[in-house]
Amino acid sequence: MNVLHMKYAVEVARIGSINKASEELYIAQPNLSRSIKELESDLGITIFNRTSKGMYLTPEGESFIKYAKKALNQIDEIEKVFKSGGAVRKHFSITVPRASYISDAFAIFTKTLENTPTEVFYMEGNSSKAINNILSSDYKLGIIRYAGDYDRYYKEYLEEKGLAYEIVAEFEYLLVMSKDNPLADKEDIMFDDLSPYVEISHGDPDLPSMPFSAAVKKEETPEKVSRHIYLFERASQFELLTENPETFMWVSPLPQKLLDRYGLIQKKCSYNDKVYKDVLIRKKDYVLSDLDKNFITELCASRRKCVK
């Protein structure tokens, strides 16, 4: 298989037109067409459906282009490293739920980075994003969060996708609020006590390919509270909780230093006994790097401090 032909196919797929692609690639249109046909012949598949309106990927073509992009990226990395004579660049990538004990572990982990070329990618998102990033975006690790009631569903789903998994933490959600919140001094908080207040929550708890995901989302935001603020990032939640004493949030256990920094407290709510799980995932054939192991070490240390 000709690597140059592979590059041509990726460019045609991006543009959707053999004529426009030939202009971008500075190659005659007949030569480009012949290169694509030779590639299809070598592979024994049809990559493009050719129509009067342009070139469209076949299902086999979509799969091929996905792999071709990854292969070309790796070739580019090899050329950058070895043609320049530089050191091999280390990579670390992970998608995680918006959890402060995890971000605390990540911050400490960054202190262990050696003075060598390194690229680190840290993304916060829901379980769907974590799984898709590993399967489609070349992320190496992910942490997904789900209620223990759905443990069987998730394990079957991860097995189906060829992902290995191990539990990081099990916990019950706690309430976090300003020390000035009227409930802060209440010894025993009930669900009904929360109804006059404003709940802050993350707005994307969708579950991967789960037919009852809407029911789960409803379950995660109790109807007893009528005022909600939905966030899609984590930093603003602390400003809101600090500035507006009427707000509260359900969270995984927070590091004490973070509570002290923002003047917050976390409290247990009576009758809230639902167990949640944070689970580390990766492809079954992926071998953990030294960077991965260093992060997992800090993650476990942070978990021990925060999750009792």
What are the angstrom distances between the C-alpha of 5 and each of 29, 32, 63? 13, 8, 16
Q: Is the full-model pTM beyond 0.85?
A: no
Which residues, 6+ apart, have CB-to-CB distance to 196 below 8 Å? 246
The helix-helix angle for 18-25 and 3-15 (nearest 10°) equals: 120
Structure-token pair, residue 89: 């660049």
- Calpha distance 106→129 (Å, rounded): 19
For 90-170+277-306, CATH gives: 3.40.190.10
- Mean pLDDT across the stretch 72-95? 77
Q: Is the pLDDT of residue 254 over 90?
A: yes
What are the angstrom distances between the C-alpha of 53 and each of 13, 47, 191? 14, 16, 59
211 pLDDT tier (thresholds 50, 70, 90): very low
170, 272 contact by CB (below 8 A)? no
Give the per-residue pLDDT at 217. 46
Least confident segment among 40-49, 134-143, 229-238: 229-238
* Rg of the Cα atoms in the chain: 24
283, 163 contact by CB (below 8 A)? yes
27-66 pLDDT tens trace: 888 888 999 999 999 899 999 988 888 888 999 999 999 9
- If you average pLDDT over every residue of the chain, what do you get? 87
85 pLDDT tier (thresholds 50, 70, 90): low
Q: One-letter amino acid identity for 93?
A: S
- Calpha distance 269→187 (Å, rounded): 10
For the domain made up of 171-272, give the CATH fold.
D-Maltodextrin-Binding Protein; domain 2 (3.40.190)
Q: How far is CA 213 from the centre of its chain?
A: 18
Give the per-residue pLDDT at 168. 95
Q: Is the pLDDT of residue 215 over 50?
A: no
For the domain made up of 3-84, give the CATH fold.
Arc Repressor Mutant, subunit A (1.10.10)
* HSE (side-chain half, CA atoms, 13 Å) at 191: 10
Return the higher-pLDDT residue of 239 and 114.
Answer: 239
Sequence ranges of the chain with CATH classification 1.10.10.10:
3-84
Give the per-residue pLDDT at 207. 55
132, 281 contact by CB (below 8 A)? no
- Calpha distance 231→98 (Å, rounded): 11
124 pLDDT tier (thresholds 50, 70, 90): very high
Q: Is the pLDDT of residue 230 over 60?
A: yes
- Calpha distance 160→53 (Å, rounded): 38
Sequence ranges of the chain with CATH classification 3.40.190.10:
90-170+277-306, 171-272
Q: Is the pLDDT of residue 212 over 80?
A: no
Q: One-letter amino acid identity for 158?
A: L
Give the per-residue pLDDT at 187. 86
Which residues, 6+ apart, have CB-to-CB distance to 169 below 8 Å? 101, 252, 277, 278, 303, 307
φ and ψ at 93, to 5 degrees?
A: -145, 135
Q: Is the pLDDT of residue 213 over 60?
A: no
* HSE (side-chain half, CA atoms, 13 Å) at 33: 11
